[in-house]
């Protein structure tokens, strides 16, 4: 098993403008959790649940992990897109995942994980030269594979390994979908499906954003 936690997204670019929209979204998630509201989306749930499910979480650690990842990746994306476009992309991706869950999932879904994977995808595509400082915990037998590339310092590390590494954004653009696909294959659950759908939504969002934001060029190079 492998548990990565992103610590910081290191990138070049302006960092002076405040990511107000991202901060507001985090506050909304915290308030919904504090008041104990539940808008899970799934078979037979109301239309409001298609949006509001993303602000609900099934426990403190679920909330904490999601909000931390949203803070790490959401702030740079918010600065890049501006508050208006960031909110539009965030809520649009949340609606897309919620609509999928409402139509196809046989069980209820809560949490902003799918939308956060969309935000992560935007960050990796829009800032391909960025570096992601990541802490990880690896458990046997994956530690054996890690030991091939870097010999463990202590015998314990053949069974339990931890470290802080820096990973290029482009690598993560490949590794994250592969990790979710492997989770889907080895231990089936609907969570990786929502995560993969979020990744697809992130790619679509980049293609739909104005070129002056994404830096894309047309086929003619204009």
- For residue 180, the domain's CATH number is 1.20.1540.10
**Is residue 59 situated within a structural domain?**
yes
Pairing of strands 2-10, 131-139: antiparallel
Higher pLDDT, 220 or 82: 82
CA distance 160 to 150: 14
At what angle are helices 83-104 and 60-81 packed, to 10 degrees?
140
Q: Is residue 140 part of a domain?
A: no
Given this model, what pLDDT does residue 222 score?
Answer: 33
The whole-number average pLDDT for the span 59-66 is: 95
Contacts 24+ apart (CB under 8 A), 173-182: 173/121, 173/124, 173/125, 173/128, 176/117, 176/120, 176/121, 176/124, 179/2, 180/117
Taking residues 23-27, report their average pLDDT: 98
Weakest-pLDDT range from 120-124, 152-156, 161-165: 152-156
Asked if residue 68 belongs to a domain, the reply is yes
Q: How far is residue 38 from each of residues 41, 65, 80, 82, 102, measured CA to CA in Å? A: 9, 18, 32, 30, 15
Tokens of 11: 């990138």
What is the arithmetic mean of pLDDT over 61-85? 96
Over residues 51-60, the mean pLDDT reads: 94
Residue-averaged pLDDT of the chain: 89
Residue 95 lies in a domain: yes
Specify the pTM. Answer: 0.89
The total domain count for the chain is 1
Provide, rounded to the nearest whole percent, the portion of the chain with pLDDT above 70.
95
């Amino acid at each position: 098993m492998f548990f990565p936690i992103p610590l910081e997204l290191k990138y070049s670019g302006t960092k002076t403008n405040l990511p107000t929209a991202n901060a507001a979204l985090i506050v909304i998630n915290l308030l919904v959790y504090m008041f104990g509201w539940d808008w899970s989306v799934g078979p037979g749930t109301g239309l409001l649940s298609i949006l509001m499910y993303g602000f609900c979480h099934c426990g403190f650690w679920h909330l904490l992990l999601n909000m931390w990842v949203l803070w790490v990746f959401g702030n740079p994306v918010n600065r890049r897109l501006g508050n208006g476009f960031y909110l539009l992309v965030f809520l649009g991706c949340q609606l897309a995942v919620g609509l999928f869950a409402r139509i196809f999932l046989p069980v209820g879904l809560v949490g902003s994980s799918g939308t956060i994977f969309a935000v992560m995808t935007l960050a990796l595509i829009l800032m391909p030269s960025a570096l992601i400082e990541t802490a990880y915990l690896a458990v046997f037998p994956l530690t054996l594979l890690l030991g091939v590339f870097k010999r463990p310092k202590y015998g314990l590390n053949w069974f339990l390994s931890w470290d802080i590494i820096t990973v290029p954004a482009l690598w993560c653009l490949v590794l994250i979908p592969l990790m979710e696909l492997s989770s889907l294959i080895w231990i089936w659950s609907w969570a990786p499906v929502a995560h993969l759908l979020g990744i697809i939504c992130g790619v679509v969002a980049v293609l739909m954003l104005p070129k002056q934001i994404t830096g894309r060029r047309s086929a003619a190079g204009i």
